């Protein structure tokens, strides 16, 4: 009754490698063997900074206009459709740079979104003939500006396929979606100096898990890689430590906010006055943040109530109980069918 018609399997291949943990390299040769059915290749222009990179790593100038192209290859024996879009990179709640999924919330320090200054020309859904290819173009318009630093994003491609494997009507069918992202990194002027600040701190939920969420802001137009965070939260009323958290390998996109969740697990949030002490550092830089914050009784009650971490019955236990109930029901139905068939065989033998 959940209305779930299809389970989507997403195959993501991120193309390119930028020092500092930007992209992972996707091998075009894997496309056919993984049944992706297509692959993509960037046509690198003369202002490519590193010719060895397979993504767009471009030196740009203020007021520059340029056309970029990507060739999409169909390696199947039938016509396919591929939709494409330009995404602006951001830092997700796992502490990694996100190029595939989009966000509606950007840090106020972000002056130029990749999706605003790079626009796809023509149709955004390509029809590619069997064993054929098609070139898609995008126009880059760098504003006349005193901006200096990095503008980061990705050119996203997803195969549009309405075919579904399996024949069970209306139930659990599997639909596959295969995606590529070609990295886009524009360097305008000279490299910016890393700068970080601490934004909002307070109680909240992250994927329905309760805890304290701190907004760590990269306010500079540069990638800040390989960060380690060490955080201690103390109760200002009594001075005792109520939470400690550590994280490694945080990668922050330029001019983005990392909503860092420090989860409490089975420990309930309690109303009170707290102090957060956080150290964020990599091999080259270190930032120290201190912030007082308050958790109200209304906030504690709200997030404790809606958390899946509660003791006793929770949503996951209910799901497990539901699955067990369905299994028992199926077994009972099979038992009834077996008993009916055995009785019929016995009746047939008595009539003979």
Q: Residue 10: is its pLDDT beyond 70?
A: no
Q: What is the average per-residue pLDDT within 82-90?
A: 96
Residue 238 confidence (pLDDT):
84
Residue 185 confidence (pLDDT):
97
Q: What is the average per-residue pLDDT within 190-215?
A: 93
Residue 247 confidence (pLDDT):
94
Residue 344 confidence (pLDDT):
77
Residue 345 confidence (pLDDT):
76
Q: Residue 73: is its pLDDT beyond 60?
A: yes
Q: What is the average per-residue pLDDT within 120-125?
A: 93
Report which of residues 6 and 298 the model is more confident about. Answer: 298
Residue 317 confidence (pLDDT):
57
Residue 25 confidence (pLDDT):
32
Q: What is the average per-residue pLDDT within 197-211?
A: 93
Q: What is the average per-residue pLDDT within 218-247?
A: 95
Q: Residue 226: is its pLDDT beyond 90?
A: yes
Average pLDDT, the chain: 84
> 74 by DSSP, 3-state: which?
strand
Residue 135 confidence (pLDDT):
96
Residue 309 confidence (pLDDT):
83
Q: What is the average per-residue pLDDT within 316-343?
A: 79
Residue 333 confidence (pLDDT):
86
Residue 352 confidence (pLDDT):
63
State how far the Cα of 114 lies from the Cα of 186, in Å rounded to an integer: 9
Instruction: Work out the pLDDT band at 31, boundaries 50, 70, 90.
Output: very low
Are residues 113 and 147 in contact, defined by beta-carbon separation less than 8 angstroms?
no
Are residues 300 and 269 in contact, defined by beta-carbon separation less than 8 angstroms?
yes
Residue 16 confidence (pLDDT):
41
Q: What is the average per-residue pLDDT within 219-243?
A: 95
Q: Residue 90: is its pLDDT beyond 90?
A: yes
Report which of residues 141 and 176 the model is more confident about. Answer: 141
Length of the chain: 352
Q: Residue 207: is its pLDDT beyond 90?
A: no
Q: Residue 79: is its pLDDT beyond 50?
A: yes
Residue 291 confidence (pLDDT):
96
Q: Is the pTM of this model over 0.85?
A: no
Percentage of the chain surpassing pLDDT 90?
66
State how far the Cα of 162 lies from the Cα of 79, in Å rounded to an integer: 13
Residue 12 confidence (pLDDT):
45
Q: What is the average per-residue pLDDT within 37-53?
A: 93
Q: What is the average per-residue pLDDT within 295-317?
A: 80
pLDDT tens digits for range 236-294:
988 899 999 999 999 999 999 999 999 998 889 999 999 999 999 999 999 999 999 99
Sign of the Cα pseudo-torsion (116, 120, 123, 124, in order):
negative
Pick the closest to residue 23 from 244, 141, 180, 135 (CA basis): 180
Residue 318 confidence (pLDDT):
62
Q: Pull the structure tokens for residue 246.
A: 């550590």
Q: What is the pairing mode between strands 241-252 and 224-235?
A: antiparallel
User: Which residues lie below 8 Å from residue 131, measured CB to CB, with a gap of 6+?
Assistant: 74, 75, 76, 77
Element (H, E) at 40: strand 38-43
């Amino acid at each position: 009754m959940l209305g779930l018609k299809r389970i989507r399997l997403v195959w993501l291949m991120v193309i390119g490698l930028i020092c500092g943990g930007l992209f992972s390299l996707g091998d075009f040769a894997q496309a056919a063997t993984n049944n992706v059915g297509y692959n993509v290749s960037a046509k690198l222009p003369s202002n490519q900074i590193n010719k060895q990179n397979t993504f767009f790593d471009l030196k740009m100038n203020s007021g520059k206009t340029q056309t970029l192209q990507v060739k999409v290859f169909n390696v199947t024996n039938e016509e396919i459709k591929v939709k494409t879009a330009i995404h602006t990179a951001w830092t997700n709640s796992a502490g990694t740079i996100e190029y595939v999924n989009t966000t509606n919330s950007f840090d106020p320090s972000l002056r130029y979104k990749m999706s605003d200054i790079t626009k796809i020309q023509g149709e955004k859904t390509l029809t590619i003939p069997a064993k054929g290819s098609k070139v898609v173009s995008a126009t880059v318009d760098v504003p006349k500006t005193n901006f200096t630093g990095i503008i980061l994003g990705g050119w996203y491609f997803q195969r549009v396929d309405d075919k579904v494997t399996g024949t069970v009507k209306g139930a659990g069918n599997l639909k596959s979606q295969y995606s590529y992202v070609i990295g886009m990194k524009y360097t305008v002027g000279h490299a910016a100096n890393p700068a970080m600040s601490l934004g909002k701190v307070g109680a909240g939920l992250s994927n329905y898990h309760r805890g304290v969420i701190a907004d760590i802001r990269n306010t500079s137009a540069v990638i800040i890689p390989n960060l380690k965070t060490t955080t201690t939260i103390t109760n200002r009323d009594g001075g005792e430590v109520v939470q400690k958290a550590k994280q490694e390998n945080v990668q922050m996109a330029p001019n983005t906010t990392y909503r860092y969740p420090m989860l409490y697990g089975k420990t309930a949030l309690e109303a009170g006055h707290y102090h957060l002490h956080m150290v964020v550092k990599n091999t080259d830089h270190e930032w120290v943040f201190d912030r007082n914050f308050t958790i109200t009784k209304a906030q504690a009650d709200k997030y404790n109530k809606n958390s899946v971490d509660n003791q006793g019955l929770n949503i996951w236990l209910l799901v497990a109980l539901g699955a067990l109930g369905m299994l028992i029901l199926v077994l009972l139905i099979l038992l009834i069918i077996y008993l009916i068939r055995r009785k019929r065989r016995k009746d047939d033998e008595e009539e003979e």
